[in-house]
Structure 1
Amino acid sequence: MRIAGSILVGVIVYLIGLFTSAMALTANTWAFSDGELNDTGIVAVLLLLLIWGLVFLRHRWPWVPFISGGLLTAGWGDALMLLIAVFHLVIRAPRRQAIAASAVAVGLVVFSTVRMCLAPAEHNPFSIFFLPDPAQVTGLEATIPPEDSHLAITIITIAAGVIGLCTAVGVGVLLRRTRRMRAVESIAERETLRNESLTAQIARQSERELLARELHDTLSHRLSVISLHTGALEVGAQTDPEVASTASALRAEARASMEDLRHLVGGVRNGSLAGSRPSEESSVPPSRATMAAIPELISSVTSTGTVVYPLVVLQDVDACPPALDRAVYRIVQEALTNAMKHAPNVPVSVNVAVSAVRGIQISVSNPLPCEPGQVDVPPRPRHAPGSALQPGVHASAHGRRLAGHRPEAQEVHLESTGSGAGLIGIRERTEMFGGEASIGAFDNEFRVQVSFRPFSAQN
């Protein structure tokens, strides 16, 4: 529509320009012989057909019609093409070029107007409106207007020049200013959006600072106290190997928790928790919350006496997005924590399969309680993490909570020993990355099953 409109306007201007140039031809005596158009005049009219074709270049190359219009104004007396070119130059050209073009146009139009006013009235193109018989403009006697119309012809000539200049330059300046205001408004709108974004970033940074400070002040002290007490317990329990082993495991977990806390606080403070993995040369210790640390996580759980049957296959871990890498570790960690919390002394099966092509499959399960009437068999000692339970052995704590559950899948309620936020967190982490989670009782087992699409689909 825009191109079609521009072409239509160009055609209209072309036709009007030919008419005005034909009128201006009457001011040139060399184009007529005995009141009739001679061969030179015919050639001039044919040239006008070509010259006015330059008006279609007014948008892309306005200097071309400006030069042609200047020549027509100086030698022909027709300033329409010059005014059209000045209009487009004022709108689009740089400020200095627009001022220069306007000054040149004013000088040429004034020169052409003064020349027409000083020339005989019969050679003024506007005298055609005062002829006694306009139908006989080709007759030499008929082209002489009455003497009482000379003043009116002069006034019309001056008025036409002034109106043309004011319209071309004035409207051009107005449109140029309008475009500039629109550009300024666009820049102001972008700056406003940028300021709003910066304000939101500053607010989030303040929230992160507050959260990091609270995390550090709240947990750092408690973990330090736990580490000191477990160290003292380990030293004082040299005569009891089981207590010493448990205290050593607790102290190792407290130290690892301190490292994780420092990484968490640093990530919250600078907003880099979802960023890329730290390089090996970095002075900041890498986070333990990665899939590569899952075997270490299982070892820390077995060191507490919990029997774990792991099957971990990790492939293409380096190609996994950092946020998904951390989420998988947290899901396995929370599933193990849930099993130890609600079903102590019960063996836990952990199956983790990671592949960039097949995706990620996680399954953490532990047996459900025995049927009513069966007797729970006491579990094996906690210091034997590698041992397996005898057939029929089930945890009493977890068993009492799930004694009334059927084999089909259903949600487990943890109101008496926890808020259930861990399972909710697993579901939220899974949904965040477009995975699927199934949590509940299945075939006499409590299972946490999570699956993610291949890494390429995640990206």
Structure 2
Amino acid sequence: MDHSLDRRRSARDWVVDSVAFAGSVALGLVIFDSARTDEIPKWLLDLDYLSGLLLCLTLWFRRRWPIQLAVIGSLVSIYSETGGIAGLLLFVTVAVHFRLRVTLYLTAFSMLCLVAYSFVRGTDSLVTNMITSAIVYAGAIGWGLYVRSRRQLLQTLRDRAERAETVAQLEAQQAQMRAREEIAREMHDILGHRLSLLSVHAGALAYRPDASTEEVAGAAEIIRASAHQALQDLREVIGVLRAPVGELPQPTFSDLPALVEGSRRAGVPVDLELDAPGTLPDHVGRTAYRIVQEGLTNALKHAPGQPVTISVTGAPGNGLEVEVSNPAPQRPPGVGQGLIGLKERAALVEGKLEHGRTPAGDFRLAAWLPWPA
């Protein structure tokens, strides 16, 4: 059954029902006027007239009880010609809103009623009436199937449009979430390292009240430079928040020595082994840079002043190995968002990352990243 029968009657439905009612009454009266010359009892003629008008009134309710009224219309057609048009419209309603099998059952029942009509009205042209009625019913069925298929097509297109709109909204929300996650990760990576340098030097000033004027001035200059660079990095991130995600400021593998040198100037003893001849893919180089940056940041936070050993080695076809180690603190640090983000970064480039204490008591951050030949 077509579910459009369940909806409330629209303005278009009111217009269609009004035209159908007026047309069926007008044509029914014309047919009744021509049938007055038939040799039938007067009571049957009066019954034909009243039943036909009542059947026209049922057109207002054909959307609520389509099959029931169509069956009543077929029964009334046994003796009434006035309600013939109304009965045909009730039949078309079933053809439009129900499956073909239901319509064929109703057609067979209507043809039987037509045979009874020939006996009740005393007509001699049964075969002609059957052929004519069969043609009319075939046309009604064809029209009903056309309207039904067209409505189903329009409903399918509407459903597809709604699904496409829903999918587009979900994809937009997911893209927005991914953008926010990447922005948060970039802010963590960019600012975390700078702020760790600030914390180390500010802490050194607090615990060294006997420091000389030159040492205080040097530490203050490093703090000023780190704060200025952190502000510059923050401005870059904020400046591209409305830009596509791919336009966020991204470091390259060639910036790795500068990153290490900045930590050395901050007073962190860093030993760097860099042996990676060749050109790394951009996404792999950025991931290696972020791993080293996070390792230095964690060393500054949890083991300030301790030596840090960095090893970055590899070759095309063998992959790139990145390792950052430093003496571990007495209380092992928990797994923060930075290490979680690094695992995600490594997984995105089909690499592997691990971290934890070594048997020697150091904290080790190691990763393997693919490097195509």
Q: TM-score, normalised by structure 1?
A: 0.42
Q: TM-score, normalised by structure 2?
A: 0.50
- Larger helix percent: 2
